[in-house]
Amino acid sequence: MGKNKLLTAVAVLVFAFLIIPLCIITVTAFGGGSAITFPIDSFSLKWFANVFSLESFRNSFLTSLEIGLLATVIALLVGIPAAYALARSGMKGKGILKSVFLSPTIVPGIVIGFVLYQFLVLTLRIPVFAGLLAGHFMVTLPYVIRVVGSSLDQFDFSIEEAAWSLGCPKMKAFFRVVLPNITSGISAAFMLAFINSFNNIPVSMFLSGPGVSTFPATLMNYIEYNYNPTVSAVSVVLMAATMLIMVIVDKTLGIASLAK
Amino acid sequence: MAFMTLENIAVCYDKKKQILKGLNLEVEKGELVSLLGPSGCGKTTTLRVVAGFIDPQEGTFRLDGDDLTKVPVHKRNFGLVFQSYALFPHLSVYDNVAFGLKMRKMGKDEIDRKVKDILEVCGLTDLADRFPQQMSGGQRQRVALARALVIEPKLLLLDEPLSNLDAKLRVNMRVEIKRIQKKLGITTLFVTHDQEECFSISDKVAVMNQGVIEQYDSPENIYRHPKTEFVARFIGFENFLDLKKSGDVYQTADGKVFAVETPHEEAALTGTIRPEDIEIDREGRTANVLEGTVGVRTFLGKSYQYEVSTSAGKFMVNMRAEDQFQEGDPIRLYLPANKLILVSR
């Protein structure tokens, strides 16, 4: 009994630690003053209006969406076959190849950002958008290979062999039998990859250029010069959007399907 | 020439580990042949060579006179049933069974008729709309069988299809498989490590050991007359004694004389007998008798099994419940000439 109470107390403390800053940010977003204060002295919605009126926010938000979706889709197109090959073949050096594919999650983002800056921007001089896309593809690919790979590890490949034996050529069997049975892994990979691309700062900071910048990078810039409740308002908007997506996912796929 | 032949098949992984070492097998049309052996003997590898999942380094696989060694899996038209059933989880029973027919681009009506026919044969008509995860092991097994049979395969390949079922269902299913196999007259290869299952279902049995077939014969002949010590051990012979030929009879190293019904051409060989075939000598016979001391006793239900120490080593002897012996009792074992089998060492 006593142990249970202690556990509850710890759980409440941890939860509070996680949730209180979010609550404070939410409250400060509605403040009327020009500095972020808590508690707020007057109520206003003007900072929300400011979020939607700032052109740099709007543009960079769209850029982030575009980069995130494109990078994720490309990562899926590359990552699913790669994960399949890693799961299916018995070749030597499979372990090494796996670690190489997963290395961008281990190497600090700042290093990847710098290397890509050096290579893509200074040496190859490729356009800013293409550079950003390449960087984000690199950041998201490991998540796709990891998550789809673990989904494939659970897959009984004799199902695929059964399809071959029934007259289904290998390529067709992959689409007809393997893919439909790893859809939960693919949607989880999509979510994780997209979120990671959308949140990424170090790679984006290095690869952003004149006129093209991702949302987090723009936000960082903004905070440096204007520390006002707009930042809180942006956070609130993002939190609300995330919650909405999670509710939709839960209602359609079930949150549990992402954890599989 | 036989309907299906494997000639000199060799398979090795990593160049070092040789799984099949020049395996030969002939199967006549309509026969059900079992590949029997312990795990790692190469029986599943043999089946996978026939199915086309493994390219043998050497050898030829022929069916009906055609060399199929290099033909890809999807063009072989063989029905496969896997140990894990391998049903398509995202398709209903009906669609699982129809899958192979759709691959053959058949008309919708024809597919419907064939699927319904085979579901009927396999007793699955009421389950057509279910999904695999909603069914029991036995039901899944029947769906796997129906799916393999509906394409009217030239060969049916079964890889330990019953090992995931409970004991009672296993017996029912093997009768079922035999019934359907005979009804459709389809040539079948059956992989198993269970000798009882294998003997009950097969027309012929190939006992495998370390990548070769040690004996290929009818279940009755293998049960009664194993050719090698390995085969004998695998099918329930537990007692072995070294013998040397001397004239018409055979002798142990310490001069005990044994007569056998079926002689053997080799001079030095092993005599073997099942625990249940050993009798107690109360008449003071001079031949085919071993003296020993009773050791540990275990209860088997119908009988007791005694471990008896003799000059030729430990012997396992099954005796009816009435014949009670105590540990340490002297005992004379009689090995009847018609039950003592000679095998190669």
**CATH number where B315 lies:** 2.40.50.140
| SS3 (DSSP) at B135 | coil
* Predicted local confidence at residue B232, as pLDDT: 93
As a residue count, chain B comes to 345
The CATH-assigned architecture of domain A55-259 is Orthogonal Bundle (1.10)
CA distance B191 to A223: 70
Does B98 lie in the same domain as B28?
Answer: yes
Helix (H) or strand (E) holding B20: strand B17-27
Question: B94-98: which pairs have CB atoms within 8 A and are 24 or more residues apart?
Answer: B94/B119, B94/B128, B94/B129, B96/B132, B96/B143, B96/B147, B97/B143, B97/B146, B97/B147, B97/B150, B98/B150
* Predicted local confidence at residue A260, as pLDDT: 45
- B120 neighbors B142 (Cβ within 8 angstroms): no
Residue B231 lies in a domain: no
User: CA-nearest residue of chain A to B159?
Assistant: A158
Task: Identify which of B170, B163, B205 has the alpha carbon closest to the alpha carbon of residue B37.
Answer: B205
| SS3 (DSSP) at A194 | helix
Mutate to test the interface with A, among B71, B99, B111, B152 (most CBs of A within 10 A): B99
CA distance B231 to A200: 65
- Asked if A166 and B82 come within 8 Å (Cβ–Cβ), the reply is no
Q: What is the nearest CA distance from A72 to chain B, expressed in angstroms? A: 26
| Domain finish residue from B224, B247, B264 | B224
* Predicted local confidence at residue A179, as pLDDT: 94
Does B125 lie in the same domain as B17?
Answer: yes
The count of CB pairs under 8 A between chains A and B is 64
- Asked if A168 and B151 come within 8 Å (Cβ–Cβ), the reply is no
The residue segments making up the domain with residue B54 are 4-224
* CB contacts, 8 Å: B104 with chain A: 167
Over residues A201-225, the mean pLDDT reads 88
H helices of B225-305, where?
A: 229-234
Torsion of CA A159, A165, A167, A171, to 10 degrees: 50
Does B337 lie in the same domain as B192?
Answer: no
- Asked if A162 and B82 come within 8 Å (Cβ–Cβ), the reply is yes
Structure tokens at B61: 């696989």
- B335 neighbors B288 (Cβ within 8 angstroms): yes
- From the list A164, A167, A181, the residue facing B151 with the nearest CB is A167
Helix (H) or strand (E) holding A56: helix A55-88
Alpha-carbon Rg of chain A, whole angstroms?
Answer: 22
* Predicted local confidence at residue A252, as pLDDT: 76
- From the list A165, A167, A180, the residue facing B51 with the nearest CB is A165
Of chain A, the percentage scoring pLDDT greater than 70 comes to: 96
User: CA-nearest residue of chain A to B54?
Assistant: A161
- Asked if B87 and A159 come within 8 Å (Cβ–Cβ), the reply is yes
Q: Output the DSSP codes for B61-73.
A: EEETTEE-TTS-G
- A229 neighbors A100 (Cβ within 8 angstroms): no
Phi-psi region of B40 (alpha: psi -120 to 50; beta: other; left: phi over 0): left
CA distance A37 to B173: 75
Does B243 lie in the same domain as B219?
Answer: no
**How many domains is chain B built from?**
2
Residue with tokens 């085969």: B231
Does B277 lie in the same domain as B220?
Answer: no
User: At residue A69, what is the residue type?
Assistant: L
User: CA-nearest residue of chain A to B89?
Assistant: A181
Residues of chain B falling short of pLDDT 70: none
Residue B76 lies in a domain: yes
User: Model-level pTM?
Assistant: 0.81
Does B242 lie in the same domain as B200?
Answer: no
- Asked if B74 and A170 come within 8 Å (Cβ–Cβ), the reply is yes
Residue B63 lies in a domain: yes
pLDDT tens readout for residues A51-92: 888 888 889 999 999 999 999 999 999 999 999 999 988 777
Does B218 lie in the same domain as B248?
Answer: no
Report CA-CA distances (Å) from A19 to A26, A210, B241. 11, 37, 79
* Predicted local confidence at residue A221, as pLDDT: 87
| SS3 (DSSP) at A129 | helix
Residue A257 predicted with pLDDT over 70 = no
Does B268 lie in the same domain as B219?
Answer: no
**Residue burial B322-333, b: 16+ Cβ < 10 Å; e: rest:** eeebeeeeebbb
* CB contacts, 8 Å: B74 with chain A: 164-170, 173
Does B100 lie in the same domain as B52?
Answer: yes
Helix (H) or strand (E) holding B309: strand B303-310
Task: Identify which of B260, B274, B258, B282 has the alpha carbon closest to the alpha carbon of residue B332.
Answer: B282
CA distance B177 to A233: 69
Task: Identify which of B2, B85, B79, B71 has the alpha carbon closest to the alpha carbon of residue B47.
Answer: B79
| Domain finish residue from B197, B224, B251 | B224
Structure tokens at A101: 């594919």
* CB contacts, 8 Å: B53 with chain A: 161, 164
Q: How confident is the model at residue A258 (pLDDT cuts 50, 70, 90)?
A: low
Q: What is the nearest CA distance from B224 to chain A, expressed in angstroms? A: 37
Mutate to test the interface with B, among A91, A151, A154, A165 (most CBs of B within 10 A): A165
SS3 content of chain B, % helix, strand, coil (to 5): 30, 35, 40
- From the list B51, B79, B84, the residue facing A156 with the nearest CB is B84
Contacts of B344 by beta carbon, 8 Å cutoff, 6+ apart = B227, B228, B229, B264, B266, B269, B270
* CB contacts, 8 Å: A170 with chain B: 74
- From the list B52, B83, B103, the residue facing A168 with the nearest CB is B103
CA distance A172 to A188: 24
Query: Residue B97 maps to which CATH number?
Result: 3.40.50.300
| Domain finish residue from B181, B198, B224 | B224
Using a CB–CB cut-off of 8 Å, the residues of B that contact A are: 51-53, 72-80, 82-84, 86-90, 99-100, 103-104, 144, 147-148, 151
Structure tokens at B266: 């080799």
CA distance B15 to B208: 21
Residue B230 lies in a domain: no
Q: What is the nearest CA distance from A132 to chain B, expressed in angstroms? A: 38
- DSSP-derived letter for residue A181 is G
- Provide the mean pLDDT of chain A: 88
Quote the Cα angle for A166-A170-A172, to 5°.
85
Does B40 lie in the same domain as B120?
Answer: yes
pLDDT tens readout for residues A113-171: 899 899 888 888 888 899 999 999 998 999 999 899 999 988 999 999 999 999 999 99
CA distance A92 to B176: 43
* Predicted local confidence at residue A176, as pLDDT: 94
| SS3 (DSSP) at B216 | strand
- From the list B52, B86, B104, the residue facing A162 with the nearest CB is B86
Does B171 lie in the same domain as B132?
Answer: yes
Phi/psi at A207 (nearest 5 deg)?
Answer: -95, -10
- Asked if A164 and B74 come within 8 Å (Cβ–Cβ), the reply is yes
- A229 neighbors A29 (Cβ within 8 angstroms): yes
Does B260 lie in the same domain as B284?
Answer: yes
